[in-house]
């Protein structure tokens, strides 16, 4: 069957590998553009958040390209996203599309339904093949995450602006072409070598600014939704450390193995899970402050409820922990230049703050 799904950062290519392994014709979604968002916004409720609109836009694009089946993850609340699949289905129905939609929920919570859906998706493929596909998926997710992380570390030191991004793109293509676990590993090594061969300035890593990225998962993972924030920070000379990578997400949200320490850190401020990643945002801010980061950028879709709760705690938290926090709420009106300007100002502020801190730490030093 012709199968497709929503774009979500580099994980898009890992999912492609799994589905084509199962013998499906995969229609790989393109990275969302402004047009995708405009299309999605047109048919979405006004106050749905940007992930809803961007995903709807992507669905419309892949349906035009002939997709018959749409696969998606889902949640159990209290964040709204858990219901998004149902509403997407209804909206697509009103527009005259009738794709089969398969939503996966955390397997440990609804094991039987999960198995039924897996069976539907595997069709005639053997279980052996499914296992092989899953291994390949996991391997790809791991190396894709690894390459991305490496690029975030290297970008602030690049000599020619854009050279790391270009190398990363080529490295990702290598991973995409790999058909087996071994080939993936080998492609990873080639990709890493390629990234490391880019000319960089020789700087002490301790001198680079470090920024933690926190917030809602979709706008963190989908660069098109956050205006390529990590690239922007890197080009401004700051190392971006994202809090969610697909590998962690799989462990925590898909397999339900929660990172207890982040929750414990957030406990005094928000004692209970409030849905989405609201509580994680608070815990991670504390974590980054303790690790000596220079600042935190909180990313969230406009009208995202859990992140609004987190944001209302941020001023007090930032004061108490002594870490600057920049909150960016993103909607379809947000502009690239606006984000750029705010990031520049934030990086300038972190830089002068660090200078001021080092002066007080070492009086007399220049």
Partner 1 sequence: MKRTAVIGIPRYLSYFSFGELWERYFEHLGFEVTISPPSNQDILDEGVRETVNDACIPIKLFHGHVKSLRDKADYLFVPRLGGTRTRYTVCPKFLGLPDMVKYSLSGLPEVLAPRLDVRQRSIGAWRELVKLGVQLTGRRLAASRAFAQARRVLADKVSEIQREGLPALGFPQPSDSDLTVGVVGYPYVIYDHLANGGLLEQLLRQRVSVRTPELVTDSQMKERSQQFPKDLFWFYSNRTLWSGLHFMDADRLDGLVHVTAFGCGPDAMVGKLLEMESRQRGVPFLSVMVDEHTGEAGVATRAEAFVDMLRRRLRGGSAS
Instruction: Decide if residue 112 touches partner 1 (CB under 8 A).
Output: no
Coil, helix or strand at residue 269: coil
Residue of 189, 202, 194 lying closest to 163 (CA atoms) = 194
Could you say whether residue 73 binds partner 1 (CB under 8 A)? no
* Beta-sheet strand order (sheet of 209-215): 238-242, 209-215, 295-301, 325-330
> Which of the ranges 61-69, 143-151, 198-206, 315-323 carries the binding residues for partner 1, by CB under 8 A?
315-323
Half-sphere exposure of 241 (CA within 13 A, CB side): 16
Segment interacting with partner 1 (CB under 8 A) among 56-64, 79-87, 195-203, 217-225: 79-87
Q: If binding is defined by CB under 8 A, does position 289 make contact with partner 1?
A: no
Q: Minimum distance from CB of 43 to partner 1 (Å)?
A: 10
Does position 275 interact with partner 1 (CB under 8 A)? The reply is yes
Residues between 42 and 71 that touch partner 1 (CB under 8 A): 45-49, 52
304 binds partner 1 (CB under 8 A): yes
Q: What is the rounded distance in angstroms from the CA atom of residue 91 to the CA atom of residue 45?
A: 10
Among residues 28, 252, 302, 351, which is the contact residue for partner 1, using CB under 8 A? 302
Region near partner 1 per CB under 8 A, out of 56-64, 266-274, 283-291, 354-362? 266-274
Q: Residue 292, class by beta-carbon neighbours within 10 Å (0-12 exposed, 13-18 middle, 19+ buried)?
A: exposed
Which one of the spans 84-92, 115-123, 219-227, 284-292 is the region binding partner 1 (CB under 8 A)? 84-92
DSSP bridge pairs for 69? 3, 100
Of 82, 106, 107, 132, the residue at the interface with partner 1 (CB under 8 A) is 82
**Tokens encoding 322:** 């002594």
Q: Are 40 and 56 in contact (CB under 8 A)?
A: yes
Length reported for the chain? 366
Position of tokens 């570390």? Answer: 153
Residues contributing to the site for partner 1 (CB under 8 A):
45-49, 52, 76-80, 82-83, 86-87, 90-91, 94, 109, 269-276, 278, 302-306, 308-309, 311-313, 315-317, 329
């Amino acid at each position: 069957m012709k199968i497709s799904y929503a774009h979500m950062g580099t994980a898009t290519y890992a999912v492609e590998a799994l589905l084509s392994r199962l013998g499906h014709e995969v229609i790989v979604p393109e990275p969302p553009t402004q047009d995708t968002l405009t299309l999605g916004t047109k048919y979405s409720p006004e106050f749905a958040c940007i992930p809803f609109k961007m995903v709807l836009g992507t669905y419309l694009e892949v349906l035009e390209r002939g997709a018959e089946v749409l696969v998606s993850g889902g949640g159990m609340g209290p964040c709204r996203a858990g219901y998004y699949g149902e509403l997407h289905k209804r909206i697509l129905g009103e527009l005259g599309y009738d794709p089969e939609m398969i939503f996966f929920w955390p397997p440990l919570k609804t094991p039987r339904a999960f198995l039924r859906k897996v069976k539907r998706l595997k069709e005639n493929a053997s279980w052996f093949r499914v296992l092989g596909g899953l291994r390949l998926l996991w391997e790809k997710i791991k190396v894709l995450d690894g390459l991305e992380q490496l690029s975030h570390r290297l970008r602030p030191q690049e000599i020619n602006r854009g050279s790391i991004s270009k190398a990363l793109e080529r490295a990702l293509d290598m991973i995409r072409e790999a058909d087996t676990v071994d080939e993936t590993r080998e492609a990873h090594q080639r990709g890493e070598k390629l990234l490391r061969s880019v000319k960089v300035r020789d700087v002490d890593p301790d001198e680079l600014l470090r920024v933690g990225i926190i917030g809602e998962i979709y706008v963190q993972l989908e660069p098109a939704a956050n205006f390529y924030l990590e690239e922007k920070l890197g080009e401004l000379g700051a190392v971006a450390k994202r809090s969610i990578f697909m590998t962690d997400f799989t462990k925590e949200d898909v397999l339900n193995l929660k990172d207890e320490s982040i929750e414990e850190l957030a406990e005094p401020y928000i004692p209970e899970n409030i849905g989405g990643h609201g509580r994680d945002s608070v815990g991670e801010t504390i974590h980054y402050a303790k690790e000596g980061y220079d600042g935190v950028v909180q990313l969230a879709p406009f009208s995202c409820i859990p992140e609004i709760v987190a944001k209302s705690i941020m001023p007090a938290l930032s004061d108490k922990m002594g870490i600057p926090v920049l909150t960016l709420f993103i909607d379809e009106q947000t502009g690239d230049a606006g984000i750029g300007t705010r990031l520049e100002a934030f990086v300038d502020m972190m830089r002068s703050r660090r200078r001021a801190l080092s002066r007080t730490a070492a009086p007399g030093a220049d």
